[in-house]
Structures are given as structure tokens and as C-alpha cells.
């Protein structure tokens, strides 16, 4: 766009406005997490009476935050790993071989990606109940049950995004390797995967972020022992007093891993989202 003076003035104001929209809630979270308890019991104040890091120490004692953290890590890491491994294979097939049924398979992946989790939660909950009754495998309330439900959204997404990444990698590389006598799996493993690594990392981080922030499945599929952060944070608010300062401190702590991951891969994420979805 050609930048007139009017546009430049508008841009300055616009960027300040958008920054304020983003920053005000973030400021409220961070400043509240640094307040002593007396400060958060009355009307909200923009400036704390004193700055204290005590909430960041207390959060681990008020509720078993470390356990929730560990539960979240286990479930989200395993669900992401399974999804990405299965998706790499399927996406490679979709992006390289014009096989019969490829279109049907893509249609299935694409459409299931768009259905709300509640459509899968009800029947999966019933299947898990019945499995426990007949075979004795406990899935409701177990890590495995939550992992399976998390794959309902991360798997189709990973397949779709990775297929976009693979399609953008030139075929010449593997062809050279195949002519040199490498097996097909070898070509995927040693030639394609190294080139596609930024894409695979971006997809993994994206799956991780989505699963980390998921509430619906976690609210049904976890119990006191397997509670994840998404549900566990409510414990700060369910006592007679709401420990707002601790709740905000805990929010900062649980956001850090995904924020850092996001910052690292954001550039590849843009490429992946726009080639995968907007093709």
C-alpha cells in the first residue's frame, strides 16, 4: 500500500490502540500476581501497595499445582507425540502418492477437524464406561482416556498441516535418493524428515498449545489423581476466599511453557497455517 501522511498518522494511533487492547489484560494478570492477599480482597487497584513474589511461592502449597503440572505434561506430550508420528506417515502419503482413496481420506480428515469436541465426548465417554464394565480397563479418569480424546482434535489437524508442509518440499531430493537405491522408508526418514523438521516442530508446538489450553475433555475425563491444569486452576477459586493473586501467579506459570514455545516457532507456524489451510 502506498503510504500517505494520513495513513502514517492512522498507523501510529492504530498500533497504540491494538497494543493497549492486548496489554491491559496481560498487565492486570501480572500486576495482580505480584500483590499481597490484602490488595486483592477489595476493589481492584492498578498499583500494588507493595510488590511481593510470595504468591509465586504459595501457589504450590494451596493446591497440588506440581501434580497438575505433571499430569498436563504427561497427557499433552504423549497425545502430541502420537498425533505427530501418525500424521507424518499419513501426510507423506497424501502429499506424494496419487493413490485411490486419497480424496476420501482427506475429506474424512478435513471434516472431522471441524466438528466440536462435544460430539465426540459423549460417545467416547459411553464407550469408555462400557469397556471398564466388560473388560475392566479404566479409561474415564485415566491419563490414557484423556490422551485418546485429545487426539480427536490434534490428529486431523496435524495431518492436514503436515500435508501442506510436505507438498511444499520439492520431490527431486527423494528421487535422487531413490535412484541411489535407498528404500522408500529410508528416503522419508533420511531425506524428507530433516528438510521438513521446522514444519514438524511447528505442528508439534501447535498441537501442544491447543491441548494445553483444552478444558472440555479435561473436565469430564479427569479425577482427583489425574487432574490437569485446565481444571486444577479452579481450585484457587472454590474456597470461601478467592486467592486471586495466587490464581494469577499460577496463570503466569502455566502460560510460560506455551508462550516460549510459540515465540520460538511462530515464523514457521505462519508458513504452516497458510500453506496447510490456505492452499
Partner 1 sequence: MAAPQGVRAPREERRRRRREKKAQAAVANQVVQTAGGGWRTRIFPYALIAPASVMELLIHIIPMILGVCIAFLGLTQLTIGNWTEAPFVGMENFIEGLDPAGAIGSQFYAALLRTVAYTLISLALAWALGMFGAVLLTSKVRGRGFLRTLFLTPYALPQYVGAIAWAFMFNQSDGAVNRFLVDDLGILDDRPFWLLGDNAFWVLVIVTVWQFWPFAFLMLLAALQNIPTDVYEAAAMDGASTWKQFTTITLPMIRQANLVMLLILGLWIFNQFNIPYVLFGSGSPDEAMLVSPLIYEQSFNYWNFGLGGAMSTLLLVLLLVVSAVYIRLVMPKGKQLND
User: Which of these ranges, 6-14, 50-58, 60-68, 189-197, lies near partner 1 under the rule CB under 8 A?
Assistant: 6-14
Residue among 38, 110, 137, 194 that touches partner 1 (CB under 8 A): 110
One of 118, 138, 189, 241 touching partner 1 (CB under 8 A): 118
The answer to the question of residue 130 lying near partner 1 (CB under 8 A) is yes
In the region spanning residues 10 to 69, those forming contacts with partner 1, defined by CB under 8 A, are 10-11, 14-15, 18-19, 21-23, 25-26, 28-29, 32, 40-46
136 contacts partner 1 (rule: CB under 8 A): no
148 binds partner 1 (CB under 8 A): yes
145 binds partner 1 (CB under 8 A): no
Report 188-247 residues binding partner 1 (CB under 8 A). Answer: 209, 212-216, 219-220, 229-230, 233, 244, 247
Options 49, 122, 239, 241; binder of partner 1; rule CB under 8 A: 122
Q: Which of 9, 51, 57, 107 binds partner 1 (CB under 8 A)?
A: 107
Query: Please, which residues bridge with residue 222 across strands?
Result: 141
The reply on whether position 147 binds partner 1 by CB under 8 A is no
Cα–Cα distance between 37 and 66 in angstroms, integer? 22
Site for partner 1 in 64-103 (CB under 8 A): 86-87, 89-90, 92-99, 101-103
Question: Cα separations (Å) of 231 from 38, 68, 143, 213, 222?
Answer: 26, 9, 14, 10, 9
Interface stretch with partner 1, choices 49-57, 62-70, 137-145, 267-275 (CB under 8 A): 267-275
Residue 164 interacts with partner 1 (CB under 8 A): yes or no: yes
Cα separation, 268 vs 279, in Å, equals: 16
Q: d(Cα 18, Cα 178) in Å, to the nearest integer?
A: 51
Pick between residue 65 and residue 233 the one whose CB is nearest to partner 1: 233
DSSP state letters, 138-207: --TBSHHHHHHHHHHHHHHHHHHHHHHHHHTS-THHHHHHHHTT--HHHHIIIIIHHHHHHHHHHHHHHH
DSSP character at residue 98 = -
Under the binding rule (CB under 8 A), the answer on residue 156 touching partner 1 is yes
Smallest separation (angstroms) from partner 1 to the CB of 15: 6
Stretch that binds partner 1, among 2-10, 62-70, 137-145, 189-197 (CB under 8 A): 2-10
Contact present, 188 and 162 (Cβ < 8 Å): no
What whole-number distance in Å separates Cα of residue 244 and Cα of residue 263?
27
Least distance (Å) from partner 1 to the CB of residue 139?
A: 12
Exposure string of 8-22, with b = 16+ CB inside 10 Å and e = fewer, is eeeeeeeeeeeeeee
Return the closest-CA partner of residue 222 out of 94, 86, 81, 76.
Answer: 76
Cα–Cα distance measured from residue 247 to residue 33, given in angstroms and rounded to the nearest whole number: 7
Amino acid at each position: 500500500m502506498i503510504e500517505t501522511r494520513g495513513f502514517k498518522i492512522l498507523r501510529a494511533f492504530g498500533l497504540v490502540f491494538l497494543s493497549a487492547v492486548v496489554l491491559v489484560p496481560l498487565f492486570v494478570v501480572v500486576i495482580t500476581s505480584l500483590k499481597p492477599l490484602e490488595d486483592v480482597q477489595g476493589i481492584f487497584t492498578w498499583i500494588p501497595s507493595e510488590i511481593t513474589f510470595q504468591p509465586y511461592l504459595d501457589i504450590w502449597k494451596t493446591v497440588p499445582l506440581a501434580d497438575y503440572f505433571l499430569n498436563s505434561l504427561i497427557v499433552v506430550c504423549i497425545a502430541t507425540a502420537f498425533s505427530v508420528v501418525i500424521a507424518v506417515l499419513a501426510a507423506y502419503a497424501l502429499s506424494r502418492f496419487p493413490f485411490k482413496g486419497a480424496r476420501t481420506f482427506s475429506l474424512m480428515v478435513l471434516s472431522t477437524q471441524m466438528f466440536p469436541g462435544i460430539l465426540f465426548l459423549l460417545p467416547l465417554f459411553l464407550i469408555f464406561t462400557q469397556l471398564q464394565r466388560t473388560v475392566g480397563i479404566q479409561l474415564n479418569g485415566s491419563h490414557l482416556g484423556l490422551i485418546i480424546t485429545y487426539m480427536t482434535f490434534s490428529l486431523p489437524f496435524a495431518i492436514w498441516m503436515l500435508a501442506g508442509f510436505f507438498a511444499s518440499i520439492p520431490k527431486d531430493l527423494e528421487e535422487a535418493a531413490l535412484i541411489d537405491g535407498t528404500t522408500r522408508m529410508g528416503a522419508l526418514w533420511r531425506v524428507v524428515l530433516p528438510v521438513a523438521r521446522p514444519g514438524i516442530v511447528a505442528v508439534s508446538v501447535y498441537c501442544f498449545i491447543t491441548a494445553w489450553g483444552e478444558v472440555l475433555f479435561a473436565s469430564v475425563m479427569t479425577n482427583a489423581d489425574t487432574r490437569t491444569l485446565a481444571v486444577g486452576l479452579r481450585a484457587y477459586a472454590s474456597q470461601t476466599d478467592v486467592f486471586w493473586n495466587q490464581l494469577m501467579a499460577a496463570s503466569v506459570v502455566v502460560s510460560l511453557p506455551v508462550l516460549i514455545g510459540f515465540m520460538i516457532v511462530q515464523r514457521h507456524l505462519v508458513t504452516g497455517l497458510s500453506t496447510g489451510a490456505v492452499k
